[in-house]
Amino acid sequence: MLALRERAGRRANRLAMMGVALACGGAVYSHDVLNLPEMIGAVVMGGGFGLLLVRRAARRMLPLLTRAAQALLGIAAIALAGAVWRNPGAFGVAGSGVAMALLAAGVLIGGLVALGALWPGRIAPHLLSSGAGWTAALLGLAMGNGAMAIGGALAGVAGLTFMAQDRKKAQNASGGLPHAPGLP
């Protein structure tokens, strides 16, 4: 989220890489990892693929790649919720009504994030990132994963905060007047 706010080339890239590394480390640390080499291999392969994709893409294509990544976040949330729904015992979920309601809310928000990222209109990237964060928080609560719930909630709040700050800057740039048709 800090990388989205920074918008300055190298520093933003470094902040994004640090965020992804922290997220991967938190995911590995918060679970009993039986197949650590496979997980590390998947992270290395995914990072290599992402690096090749970004290096070959023109600068004007980066917003499209960001939207594609946000769509993948929404789809991944739906897939995770589906896996938990199908086999709740494997994830330590008792199958209670509250956990299933949280999973349903996660599927709904994850679907909205995926559709919003793929929609041809202009939807604020901060709103999509916030939705992905809140989806992670809901799924973390449903599975009893405190680290995932806290990280998702922090990402959700950060996205909403950045969106509000950008809106305030836009209002100040226009003299504080609302944008309406027919006004000079």
Tokens of 17: 């890489």
C-alpha distances (whole Å) from 59 to each of 1, 81, 120 are: 20, 34, 19
Q: Tokens 């509000």: give the residue.
A: 164
Amino acid in position 32 = D
Given a contact cutoff of 8 angstroms between Cβ atoms, the answer to whether 162 and 5 are in contact is yes
CA pair distance 168, 94, nearest whole angstrom: 44
Query: What is the Cα 141 distance to its own chain's centre?
Result: 16
Q: Tell me, what's the pLDDT at 11?
A: 67
pTM: 0.67
Long-range Cβ pairs for the range 80-87 (8 Å, 24+): 80/106, 80/139, 81/106, 81/107, 81/110, 81/139, 81/142, 82/107, 84/139, 84/142, 84/143
Q: What is the pLDDT along the chain (184 residues), one digit of tens a residue?
A: 555 555 556 666 666 677 767 766 766 666 665 677 777 787 788 878 877 777 777 667 777 777 888 888 888 888 888 888 888 887 777 767 888 888 888 889 888 888 888 887 677 777 887 888 888 888 888 888 888 888 888 888 888 888 888 777 777 766 655 555 655 5
Domain boundaries along the sequence of the chain: 1-56, 63-173
Rg (CA), the chain: 18
Closest CA to 5 of 174, 155, 126: 126
